[in-house]
Amino acid sequence: MAELDTSGGGKNKGGKVRSKKQSTRVDLTAMVDLAFLLITFFMLTTTLAKPQAMDMAMPDKDKTEQQELTVADNRTMTILLGANNRLEWYMGLVDKPMTPPQVDNYGRNGIRKALIENSKKVIAATGDPKKGLIVLIKPSDQSNYRNFVDILDEMKVSNIQQYAIVDISDPDIALLKRDGLLK
Amino acid sequence: MPRAKVARKSTAIDMTAMCDVAFLLLTFFILTATARQPEPLPVDTPASTVKFKLPDSDIATLTVGQGKVFFGVPGQPIRVRTLELMGEKYSMQFTEEEKLRFSLIESFGVPIGNLKQIIALKGDERNKEGLQPGIPTDSIGQNPSELHNWILSARYATKELHNVDMRVSIKGDSREEYPQIKKVTSILQDQNINKFSLITSLRASEE
């Protein structure tokens, strides 16, 4: 198979007809092919099977009253996760937002732009890189788990150091309903 | 004058050494590969850009999907100890046979009352879709929910046997609605587990 006939075609000139001596060599090509195929398979499955883990920290539940942080509202950005993979964000407080609430999408062309932009603005306003943007994530009842993971992932991508997952409040629900992000 | 003949060389290569190496590697990979257990609750995990591999031991997995919660903890001795602790709490007796069979279950989702039936089932019957209704997450009056007790027992068992704190990971389905996830996280927060991992698959590329 993988061997070329290089014997040069000698002629049998008379003499006795000898029984040909069989070579003891086995063609290993096919076997090696198979072995490498299996190696590739096992290599790929073992390294890819391990799932990735995203670490997440939640605030302590019992001590919320003592730990109530007062944060400057010019540094906070609130992101509301609505239905149908849409979200809405605003800076500041819900009753007097510093920027009008804006409906946006997930991903690179959506919320990431706003995050990076606002992060730069806040650092410029405070003049201290440690006093950056604080993001409050408020998932509504109609958002799904993928939205939740996506927005946490955006925090990592945009390098937001301070963010928190907060229960959604009634004014926020009203805002989402007004803009049609909640049924 | 005879022409000087160039000796024709054989094109066959000796494959023996290559074959040896290939099979050695193959054996190594087969032995190190962990066989993927069939999951009773298949979930489609959301993608993220995080590149942090999940540890193998001392981490319990809560699988959340289709409104059900399944629980699994690695390590057979830990599973046995968890079952014993749960037995004490709900005053149930488990035989050695049942403990052994339970220690081989990767992940399960049944109320404690039906646990014996599930243990008695064969592996493939057990993992039939829709058979297991999930672990109850609602607390009854003053009593904490069954899921709460399972997590607590597993934490005690891990601490007793390995002397490390058990970590908790959540493996949620992409389409799972947030309130269900919140229910699970608040059960964890009730036990002062404020740090946990979310299992995600790797995003292939930036959209």
Q: Would residue A18 count as lying in a domain? A: no
Find the residue in A nearest to B53 (Cα). A52
**Residue B30 structure tokens:** 């087969």
User: Could you tell me if residue B26 is inside a domain?
Assistant: no
Q: Do A144 and B174 make contact, defined as CB atoms within 8 angstroms?
A: yes
Sequence letter at residue A81:
L
The pLDDT assigned to A37 comes to 92
Q: Is residue A32 part of a domain?
A: no
Which chain B residues are closer than 8 Å to A140 by Cβ?
178
Is position A12 within any domain? no
Please determine, for the modelled complex, whether the ipTM score is greater than 0.90.
no
pLDDT score of B202 more than 80: no
pLDDT digits (tens, 9 = 90+) for B91-104: 888 888 888 888 88
Give the CA angle between residues B64, B85, B111 to the nearest 5°. Answer: 40
Residue A155 lies in a domain: yes
Which has the higher per-residue pLDDT, B39 or A81?
Answer: A81
- The mean of the pLDDT values for chain A is 78
* List of residues 6+ apart from B83 with CB closer than 8 A: B94, B99, B102, B103
What pLDDT is stored for residue B164 in this prediction?
85
Mean pLDDT of A83-90: 84
Instruction: Give the CATH number for residue A98.
Output: 3.30.420
Mean pLDDT, rounded, for A101-114: 81
Confirm whether A143 is domain-assigned.
yes
Place B24 in a pLDDT band, splitting at 50, 70 and 90. Answer: very high
> Is B8 inside any structural domain?
no
Mutate to test the interface with B, among A6, A37, A48, A54 (most CBs of B within 10 A): A54
With contacts defined as CB-CB under 8 Å, which chain A residues touch B57?
none
User: How many domains in chain B?
Assistant: 1
Enter the DSSP assignment of B57.
S
Between strands A87-91 and A102-104, the pairing is antiparallel
pLDDT in tens, B103-153: 888 888 888 888 888 888 877 777 777 788 888 888 777 778 888 888 888
Domain hosting B94: range is 47-202
Residue of A3, A52, A60 with shortest CB distance to B53: A52
Structural domain contains residue B34: no
Contact residues on chain A for B12, CB-CB shorter than 8 A = 2-3, 25
Indicate whether B191 belongs to any domain.
yes
Chain B residue whose CA is closest to A167: B182
The answer on pLDDT for A2 being more than 60 is no
Q: Write the CB contacts of B164 (distance below 8 Å, at least 6 apart in sequence).
A: B58, B158
Give whole-number Cα distances, B84 to B17, B77, B80, B131, B165, in Å: 53, 11, 6, 24, 19
Lowest mean pLDDT among A55-59, A60-64, B181-185: A60-64
- Arithmetic mean of pLDDT, A119-128: 82
Candidate from A6, A35, A145 with C-beta closest to B8: A6
User: Does A58 contact B51 at a Cβ distance shorter than 8 Å?
Assistant: no
A29 in B contact zone (CB under 8 Å): yes
Angle at B180 between CA B71 and CA A103, to 5 degrees: 140
Asked if B45 and A39 come within 8 Å (Cβ–Cβ), the reply is: no
> Which residue range(s) make up the domain with A111?
76-178
Q: Which residues pair with B72 in a beta bridge?
A: B61
Stretch B73-89: mean pLDDT, rounded?
87
Q: For residue A4, is pLDDT > 60?
A: no
Contact B22 A142 (CB under 8 A): no
- Number of domains composing chain A: 1
Query: Which of A13-17, A136-140, B26-30, B69-73 is predicted least confidently?
Result: A13-17
Q: Within the 109-138 window of chain A, which residues sit less than 8 Å (CB to CB) from chain B?
A: none
Confirm if A25 and B16 have CB atoms less than 8 A apart: no
Stretch A46-62: mean pLDDT, rounded? 71
State percent of chain A over pLDDT 90: 1
* Statement: residue B207 has pLDDT above 50: no
**Helical ranges in chain B per DSSP H:** 16-32, 76-89, 96-103, 115-120, 123-126, 146-162, 178-190
